Amino acid sequence: MRPSIIKKKLKEGKPTLLTQLHLTDASIFEMVSVMGFDGIWMDLEHHGYSLETAGNLIRATRVGSADILARAAKGEFMRIGRLLEMGAQGIMYPRCSDASEAEEVVRWTKFAPLGERGFDGAGADAFYTGIPMDEYVRDANEETFVVIQLEEPKAVEHAEAIAAVEGVDAIMLGPADFSVLSGIPGQFDHPSIEKSLNKIAQAAANTGKHWACTAADANRAKELLQRGAGMVFHNADICIVKKGLETMRDDFSKLGFQFQDNSI
């Protein structure tokens, strides 16, 4: 099956860079992939597009080299399996509470003996029945990776136990939800955020696993890499487009062009 560039780089001790795509034009996924990014964060926890659309976006990504890291919602056993069969190399699982829930996620994403994932073999990940069953099961367990998000303050206290679960590749703080649930919405420089990042980094180091994080800019990414982060997420297509349009509006406003105020 198609190998994971992210798993390969992590094994080699190399950092990996992913970006998030919200828009559902397949050409954007294809462009990011052929430009050589390590991965694309596909978010089906918060976005309402169908699995059929997700499959087409994953298919476009496979033209290049990028992995798809797909985030389903908490508890979505069936969706996780289908995303993997469509060709997603990784699963991001949100709002994990403790090690027992992380163990359940591994059962959903890995075939026996590591888990209890159901077999089909007719999807893109198996080249549409093109791989012998035993080879496919072995390769799927090897190439599929699992990122567990810790977004509740109580969950961070279980970081090391969660990281220690066999089959979990990386743990990650969900800073936005963590800030909301901690009563400090949007205060990403709050001491509790840094304390939680340190706890996650230490948990990963103690268990021989990786940790992932978001970075607002390259300087922040450099700092996080120096602290041992293996996976860095930066920016999103909707933010890039919005910033570009804001720059255009600001530049042309100086020339006398008037823009309507459509703020709510």
254 occurs within a structural domain: no
What's residue 195's pLDDT? 97
**CATH number, residue 40:** 3.20.20.60
β-strands 210-214, 231-236: how paired?
parallel
Number of domains composing the chain? 1
252 occurs within a structural domain: no
Q: Which of 69, 40, 82 is nearest to 148 (CA)?
A: 69
Q: Which of 22, 203, 15, 7 is nearest to 90 (CA)?
A: 7
219 occurs within a structural domain: yes
Which structural domain, as residue segments, surrounds residue 141? 5-237
Within 10 Å of residue 141's Cβ, how many Cβ atoms? 17
9 occurs within a structural domain: yes
Helix (H, G, I), strand (E, B) or coil at 58: helix
Tens digit of each residue's pLDDT (9 = 90 or more) over 41-93 = 999 999 999 999 999 999 999 999 999 999 999 999 999 999 999 999 999 99
With a pLDDT cut of 90, the percent of the chain lying above it is 98
41 occurs within a structural domain: yes
64 neighbors 34 (Cβ within 8 angstroms): yes
What's residue 264's pLDDT? 57
Tens digit of each residue's pLDDT (9 = 90 or more) over 163-212 = 999 999 999 999 999 999 999 999 999 999 999 999 999 999 999 999 99
Q: Average model confidence (pLDDT) for the chain?
A: 97
Tens digit of each residue's pLDDT (9 = 90 or more) over 120-147 = 999 999 999 999 999 999 999 999 999 9
Residue 263 has pLDDT above 90, yes or no: no
- Report, as an integer, the average pLDDT of 11-17: 97
